[in-house]
Amino acid sequence: MSTGRPLCHIAIGRSGVSAPTIGATEAGGGRAGGLLIRLCTTVVLAILAATTAARAVDVEIVFLSRDQEERLPLSFVDPIVEDPGVWGARLALDDNKTTGGFLGHTYSLVERVLTADEDIAVVFEEERQSGQTLFISDLPRDDLQAIAEHPEASEALIFNGRVGDDDLRINVCFDNVFHTAPSRSMRTDALVQFLVWKRWPRLYLVSGTQENDVAFAEAIRRSAEKFGAQVVAESDYAYSAISRRTDSGHIQIQDQMPLATQEGGEYDVLIVADENEVFGEYLPYNTYAARPVAGTHGLVAMSWHRVLEQWGSTQIQRRFEQVADRWMEERDYGAWLGVRSIGEAVTRLNSADAAEIRAFLRSPDFEIGGFKGVGLSYRSWDQQMRQPVLIANKRVLVSASPQPGFLHERTPLDSLGYDEPESECRLQ
């Protein structure tokens, strides 16, 4: 029976025309649903191309990264990720071209991967002087801050798909930087929300001693206080090298880890803070008490994971594997979101002007699909992308936060990370 609803839907507003959409009920699943969605997209965009006076727009996007020696995984089961980040940008560029082809918009990607001794400031200045204004940053913290503070950056836009440091969202803020990578506090808030929802509020925190491990531990303490959990015990773990890939390695681990975790007392979950991945992988099933492990290992809060199959994500997962010959990682997803944000803005504005794009991304009119069940947008005060955070282990998606019952006056997504009153950022 007909529902009386149009098969294809397109929204037309003052800012322009949104990408066509089709409801899940109408589309159905499987190959038929996918064909119907593509047919809808083709027909609507063809009509728009014929009826809308769109001008040709050439969009060049610069992808910046630095060649670094990747740390070997703790297990041979885990592959070494090659070319992190850039494959997400390449895939998103193809997505932009699909819509842009109907509207007279062309897209190209300039890939600059720096060697260990290259000066990022020099490379960035070269690109700016050649007229580039749109940048995807897959750079470490120091490089990101160097280009954000560069005098040539005032008329450019930089999309950070990698660095999650909270201070870049609460007191060291840049008008020209948009964050597609979730902040560290977004991850810990997402995890603690889930543990509170499970009624596992007593946390035993075991932290490494390196700077980013300490930052993660501090974010866990803040999240626990925010959502009514309690850190009942804490321990530091100063890593010393052990033979992890020899016949005796597992024996040393089996003896070491129970001793390192016997001070937890009565707790529900052991939270590990080990962003450098030097000891956390050894904790599950080796703790003194029989308790689950979460944090940077075990049950982990992530922006993207290969186990995600809901909300149409299987489609992008398969497309990514076809072009990159590996799974999509978080850095790939962060770069994908940046390039797609640019593409959505250019489609709606019919312009690649950086100032116009920035204003649109910060407006209530901007929203992008990220295969997470809800539209993603940017917070105006710190330009952090709002997005659900996945709670997963290595093989299964366990949940996604925000959790049911954690409300917010604007959107439940703003229950993750620093809210506007908690941040010193007031970007205009």
What's the pLDDT at 19? 52
What's the pLDDT at 72? 65
Angstrom CA distances, 295 to 220, 257, 302, stand at: 9, 16, 10
Sequence ranges of the domains in the chain:
1-53, 56-181+305-387, 185-302
Q: Return the SS3 of 83.
A: coil
| The dihedral sign for the CA sequence 206, 145, 371, 323 | negative
What's the pLDDT at 248? 45
Residue range 150-162, pLDDT digits in tens: 999 999 999 999 9
Q: How far apart are alpha carbons 8 and 92 in whole angstroms?
A: 23
Please tell me what DSSP assigns to residue 102: H
pLDDT category at 69 given cuts 50, 70, 90 is confident
Sorted by sequence, the CB contacts under 8 Å of residue 84 that are 6+ apart come out as 65, 70, 138, 329, 331, 332
Q: How far is CA 157 from the centre of its chain?
A: 18
Place of tokens 């400031």: 121
Q: Return the SS3 of 2.
A: coil
Instruction: Out of 2-11, 198-207, 225-234, pick the least confident.
Output: 2-11
Give the burial string for 322-339 (b: 16+ CB within 10 Å, else e).
Answer: eebebebbbbbbbbbbbb
3-state secondary structure 130-188: CCCCEEEEECCHHHHHHHHCCHHHHHCEEEECCCCCCHHHHCCCCCCEEECCCCHHHHH
Q: For 364-382, give the DSSP string.
A: TT--EE-SSSSEEEE-TTT
Residue range 206-243, pLDDT digits in tens: 999 999 999 999 999 999 999 999 999 999 988 665 54
pLDDT category at 278 given cuts 50, 70, 90 is confident
Closest CA to 132 of 103, 94, 158: 158
185-302: what fold? Rossmann fold (3.40.50)
Residue range 13-50, pLDDT digits in tens: 444 445 555 444 444 445 555 555 566 666 555 555 54
Amino acid of residue 199: R
Q: How far apart are alpha carbons 404 and 286 in whole angstroms?
A: 32
Residue range 310-327, pLDDT digits in tens: 999 999 999 999 999 999
pLDDT category at 428 given cuts 50, 70, 90 is confident
Give all strands (DSSP E) within 12-130, no chain letters.
Answer: 12-13, 16-17, 57-66, 105-114
Sorted by sequence, the CB contacts under 8 Å of residue 100 that are 6+ apart come out as 57, 59, 106, 107, 343, 346, 347
Q: Which stretches within 325-408 are classed as H helix?
A: 330-349, 354-361
Q: Do domains 56-181+305-387 and 185-302 have the same CATH topology?
A: yes
Closest CA to 158 of 2, 316, 335: 335
184: β partners: none
Closest CA to 90 of 308, 322, 307: 322
| 56-181+305-387 has CATH 3.40.50.2300 classification | yes
Instruction: Calculate mean pLDDT across residues 284-305.
Output: 97
Neighbour-count burial of 74, counting CB atoms closer than 10 A to its CB (0-12 exposed, 13-18 middle, 19+ buried) = middle
Model pTM score = 0.86
Residue range 371-424, pLDDT digits in tens: 999 999 999 999 999 999 999 999 999 999 999 999 999 999 999 999 999 999
Contact, 288 vs 265, CB < 8 A? Answer: no
